[in-house]
Structure 1
Amino acid sequence: MSPLPFTDMSASALAAEIRQGRASAAEVVEAHIDVFRQVNPGLNALVAERFDAAREEARRADARVAVAAPDEPLPPLLGVPCTVKEAVAFTGMPNSSGVVARGGVPATATAPVAQRLVDAGAIVLGVTNTSEMCLWVESENRLYGRTRNPYNPTRTAGGSSGGEGAAVGSGASPFGVASDIGGSIRIPSFCCGVFGHKPTRGLLPATGSWPPCDDGNRALFAHGPIARRAEDLMPLLRIMAGPDGVDPLAAEMDLGDPADVSLRDLPVLLIDEAWPLAASVDMLWARERAAGALAAAGAQVRRRRMPALRRAVESYITTLARMSGIGARDVLFAAGANEVHWRALLRRGGPHTVATRLLLVAERAQTRLPRRWAERLITTGEAIADELRNAIGDGVLLEPTLATTAPRHGRTVGRPWWLAHVVPFNLAGLPVTQTPLGLDPEGLPLGVQVVAGHGRDHVSIAVALELERVFGGWTPPPLHVGGRPDRLVRVLS
């Protein structure tokens, strides 16, 4: 048996232990359920569980291993537990994205990206919390409440996949399925100290998320994995990738191998500050350390300015608002929510968060933006995307995920400039691997985005693997159990 406890191991390592008979799927699944039972009352990461079904699936996996011939190929993730963002459909589980009017509505089918993992043998423990409609960077809603950061409960776990980030970051899940239309994989992965990968545009189908994508916003959206170990990212992508016959953007792509990537002479780009919200000293220091580690491996680090990035947030917001065929208000009405009058948006309470109420006001204001201004901002976004693609080329870009470490709860609400460091890469459709880089003096995760060229997901993942080797990757947190900040335990199962 491995010297590491099950709740520290990668999914790949767990699968090997189960396949080779050194551990049972039942033991592995139960170890992760135990962590959830300890930490979830304080974190509120998992919002609906299927523990009994997972135990039965683990028993069936063990029975399959027991009768398998020595050379019989078994599913690559057989018996390995995982979690799924509540916004990603999984048959029989809630699929509301925190919208009160949609509470209790179960998914009637499973999203292709989740089904492909199940077909590969993964066992889903449950679904995790999101921001309301998946439209803000903090995971809070009036249906399930707020998700807290496993490193400090006064800090956000990020959003919109904050429940997934907290589940993986706490050690309760080896990996999970998430989605990203404006940082929603990368921000929670960063805040919770784990790895997350936003794939190249079109690599994974967008089918099966709620709210659904339309032809206007699909190009900004991506499903992708969050994992506690970098070695899992590429195998998970290979399982989830490929067209599904529904998403018109999903296409077959040749996926490279991170092992074939040489860091020697790899171009590594750093953009000097050109953002509406400048990164803190700690965040820039983390990026510089990452660049230094890559330089030590033979990479060629260079710098440049990109002043157009100052317009990235407004260009992104305008692109999302004007290109989408359905707005947030329409989504709420389709879910059965009552009409939201503007006076009600100013009152406390009600079925919608402050972030959602502000979003509805901003959405209404966006419709009054003169058409020529909107077109100019959309064009600016396209130019930013082109400049980024050309600047990165065959190399990678290192960029902080947020301007600071995980903010306190509520500090980002009504402040769209927090999106500045993530949304340019949604505009460009480029692959990004969020990579942890240890903890700051207050014990909060540090990290960096590693951005690669189109279709070069294996390159950003190769860089993440090197940075994990140098800096250690995920650091198991002290966990606040049962919502009591005075009880700190380190769960190593």
Structure 2
Amino acid sequence: LNMGLLRQILHLLFCAVSRLSILLIRCFSVFSRKYAVPVPPLDPLLLTPAYVLAERIRNRELRSVVLVQAFIARIRQVNSVLNAVVCDRFDDAIREAQSADEFLSSGTEDKETLRERFPLLGVPFTVKEAFGVQGMPQSSGLLSRKLIVSETDAVVVSRMKKAGAIPIGVTNCSELCMWYESSNKVYGKTRNPYNPQHIVGGSSGGEGCILATAGSVIGVGSDIGGSIRMPAFFNGIYGHKPTPGLVPNEGQFPNAHGCRSEFLCTGPMCRYASDLPLVLKVMAGEKTVGRSLDQEVSLQSLRYFSMENDGGGLFVSAVDDELVQAQRQLVGYIEKDLKAHVQTVNIHNLRYSFEIWSAMMSSDDKGETFADLLSSDKLWPCWELLKWTFGFSKHTLPAIGLALTEKLAKINTEGNKRMMQKAKLLKEEISSLLGDDGILIYPSHPKIAPRHHEPLAMAFNFAYTGIFNILGFPVTQCPLGLSTTGLPLGFQLIASHNNDHLTLALAQHLEKALGGWKPPQA
């Protein structure tokens, strides 16, 4: 058998096993508790972009304490169903909002100075629990860290606070932030606001969820395999994975070391595309100096490319038809509205996305392994899997599975070398294709938000996002309406290094033209 035919046979076998597994999961889910979709947000304050709210506060048209109380009320209204915010600081947030109002009433700063020094003054925000927020838990879903409380703020949280933003709570994630369903043994499972029987994605899933249901307007996420973009996709909001190094990662757990520090990115998650540039600039701080974030973009003069699937990933699901049709409609709109030709491309090595991600993640022997992070004692993944089978493990099945995968990946050294070479060629190919004026439109994920536990049957589908962590390209996830079943649709916009401004500009244009976030409907 030639390799091409062998891959096709293996892919067909994978698809058959995956479908059977999903069928079994759905049979068991019949007995799970059913939740109703929370009522839609009605307060106009909850439906306003952060930059507008900040402007109204600076102009003394809106009191910060009123705004903060509105978001607190919304969280209290929806969180019992969704389990997105796992620990709040409501009392502290109200006191800080009152201080912001008192500072403004003193009239010591003019409006321009206020805008420059405090671009987010009085605006509440939420933070993925993996980031340090002073006085808040920072377990990252790990049972052994359940009692750990952060004594300091992560750098990005500190910068948000310095810009005047007020943290109101921390949100759920997957165990050690390495799975695309936000469920762990510390806080339990987070549910999708569009249909609570479906997942919110991970690892920044609680963040995506509370933003989508208007319990927050801007938030902090991190992304090493799609952990900003998958939750943004499944929850119908915007998320941006910046060019590596633009936003500091310090102050989150686990942090990345060695080559993985180039793959991990901290970035903004927002309900409105119009908020992305402002929040990104606040997060980046002085790193924006000499960058092009403020550069004006002529969308008509850009070059556009579209690829509807990965070209045939071995253990990756086919892209849902509704997502394909939505992407084609988007392409048609760009061609008509911007008078720009969108070229269909087939980038061959994208079909190896999971293999490349796995090889690159296991290529650095420095620092702690995932298994080391799971336990202070030596963890044996096979033994842990046996314990899990009988209900005695302190870890989730995806975490144990990743520890096993990590061990297997290190065995295949020759295969890893081939994949690392493919990564180099792929990076060169896409960089050359896009240049400094190109954008690639690509699926965010092959499946519309799956039901709970179904990711176990399609574990490698995160490859659609993970590959761009390895390649280091900036990516913006954008929503594109709802499916026939009321779940969010979306797509990724990819640019070459240090061209974040291109994808952000197109995201804002598409939001104005096509609409962005759609509120969940009860």
- TM-score, normalised with respect to structure 2: 0.86
Q: Contact 1:203/1:253 (CA < 8 Å) preserved in 2?
A: no
Q: Does 1:388 align with 2:424?
A: no
Q: Does 1:285 align with 2:322?
A: no
Q: Contact 2:142/2:186 (CA < 8 Å) preserved in 1?
A: yes
Matching residue of 2:39: none
Distance across 1 between alignment mates of 2:172 and 2:364? 27
Matched residues, number: 467
Cα 1:322–1:415 shift into 2, 3 Å: farther
Misfit runs of 4+, over 6 Å: none
Q: Contact 2:381/2:404 (CA < 8 Å) preserved in 1?
A: no
Distance across 2 between alignment mates of 1:174 and 1:149? 17
Q: 1:265 aligns with which of 296, 301, 308?
A: 301
Distance across 1 between alignment mates of 2:216 and 2:518? 14
Moved more, 407-416 or 182-191: 407-416
Deviation at 1:343, TM superposition (A): 2.9
Aligned counterparts, 1:451-490, within 5 A? 451-478=494-521, 488=522
Identity of aligned residues (%): 38
Distance across 1 between alignment mates of 2:242 and 2:196? 30
Q: 1:150 aligns with which of 172, 187, 193?
A: 193
Deviation at 1:148, TM superposition (A): 0.7
SS at match of 2:454: coil
Distance across 1 between alignment mates of 2:507 and 2:419? 33
Q: 1:200 is aligned with what amino acid? A: T
Matching residue of 1:246: none
Q: 1:433 aligns with which of 448, 461, 476?
A: 476
Q: Does 1:39 align with 2:78?
A: yes
Distance across 2 between alignment mates of 1:430 and 1:281? 27
CA-to-partner distance for each residue in 1:357-390, whole Å, 9 max, x for gaps?
1112212222322x22221112212222222222
Moved more, 262-271 or 454-463: 262-271
Deviation at 1:54, TM superposition (A): 0.2
Aligned counterparts, 1:285-364, within 5 A? 285-295=325-335, 296-323=337-364, 325=366, 326-333=368-375, 336=376, 339-340=379-380, 342-346=382-386, 347-349=389-391, 350-364=393-407
Matching residue of 2:291: 254
Q: Contact 2:225/2:463 (CA < 8 Å) preserved in 1?
A: no
Deviation at 1:183, TM superposition (A): 0.4
SS at match of 1:183: coil
RMSD of the alignment, in Å? Answer: 1.8
Q: 2:345 is aligned with what amino acid? A: R
SS at match of 1:422: helix
Distance across 1 between alignment mates of 2:285 and 2:429? 27
Distance across 1 between alignment mates of 2:497 and 2:406? 31
Cα 1:220–1:417 shift into 2, 3 Å: same
Q: Contact 1:216/1:324 (CA < 8 Å) preserved in 2?
A: no
Cα 1:17–1:4 shift into 2, 3 Å: farther
Distance across 2 between alignment mates of 1:384 and 1:473? 31
More helix by proportion, 1 or 2?
2
Deviation at 1:391, TM superposition (A): 1.8
Q: 1:77 aligns with which of 117, 120, 126?
A: 120
Distance across 1 between alignment mates of 2:109 and 2:147? 45
Q: Does 1:227 align with 2:270?
A: yes
Deviation at 1:322, TM superposition (A): 2.3
Cα 1:271–1:386 shift into 2, 3 Å: same
Q: 2:211 aligns with which of 168, 190, 193?
A: 168
Matching residue of 1:12: 51
Distance across 2 between alignment mates of 1:19 and 1:322? 49
Moved more, 162-171 or 317-326: 317-326
Distance across 2 between alignment mates of 1:164 and 1:339? 30
Q: Contact 1:139/1:158 (CA < 8 Å) preserved in 2?
A: yes
Deviation at 1:275, TM superposition (A): 3.8
Cα 1:293–1:257 shift into 2, 3 Å: farther
Any stretches of 5+ residues in structure 1 without a counterpart?
Answer: 244-249, 479-487, 489-493
Matching residue of 1:22: 61
Q: 1:317 is aligned with what amino acid? A: S
Q: Does 1:110 align with 2:150?
A: no
Q: Does 1:60 align with 2:99?
A: yes
Q: Contact 1:263/1:294 (CA < 8 Å) preserved in 2?
A: no
Distance across 1 between alignment mates of 2:214 and 2:96? 21
Q: Contact 2:308/2:443 (CA < 8 Å) preserved in 1?
A: no
Q: Contact 2:243/2:500 (CA < 8 Å) preserved in 1?
A: yes
- TM-score, normalised with respect to structure 1: 0.91
